[in-house]
Structure 1
């Protein structure tokens, strides 16, 4: 079984369409289709049901996807283990967080980090999308919500306070626990 075809298969399963998978891998849509057909021929099963909403894994596709993801996780673990053996720190470090956290709190830390480790290029990802650590979409992620993946090591970084600010004349309802105060538009 060709690993590149398995990678294409997993990307189609994750993205849902050939076009989205092609964009994610930097390939063309026809290439995605050819690789998928080649894998289906190799395993002797149709791996996706084609629906109006995209590609949905068949039972055989779901079984293969579980095993392929385990293979991918092992390959990623081996790559990380081997890359950690280097004496000099260098390379790309992808950090994902919310835009406010990145702009207000993390930017000065990254500047100091860059001074200490000039061989490391930090890419700050501040999109609302949740990046995957096991799939190496990001190397470090800061989130408000806890992680669901059992293989992710997470630590509480900080606690931050929130408050609502406004014009004093418009917020007279604070004595009633905020009753009558509107947030946003109705």
Structure 2
């Protein structure tokens, strides 16, 4: 399975020589990566529906993730680059964060509850079913944190999200975190946006 990591020009030079290194951030010492699979844009409101349709029709998978994952780099008016790479079993387990909106939460919970717990674990004191059932808000978004044990677990989790009606829109709707450096030999391609 392929992933992408977004960087600016100065970080690109480091990656070319040393690979992608773990960085300290508010998330801890990790690398923020995005899975290169098609997940359609889903607008947060009617006002953006046409834009979501255009994105789904016109953007490649890589371009779609660039819209989501490189927002901070673009906001700093810097050139965006994406390092595309594959990961083997040594990079698992992997943390995965997904923004679950109230519009899909109940469907998503049903699908997640059917997954083998040896593949995907909801990373919270309560079960996701409890969190959704106990929400007193009509509209909400849960930043759900999971741990996937393998590529099969990651694909199963993302498939549950898609089949529940989930989509990407806001910055970091779905992202993965790994805590191990990615050697330059794993990098297949550098994309210039």
TM-score of the superposed pair, with normalisation by structure 1: 0.26
The higher radius of gyration belongs to: 1
TM-score of the superposed pair, with normalisation by structure 2: 0.25
**Structure of greater relative contact order (alpha carbons < 8 Å, 6+ residues apart):** 2
Structure holding more strand per residue: 2
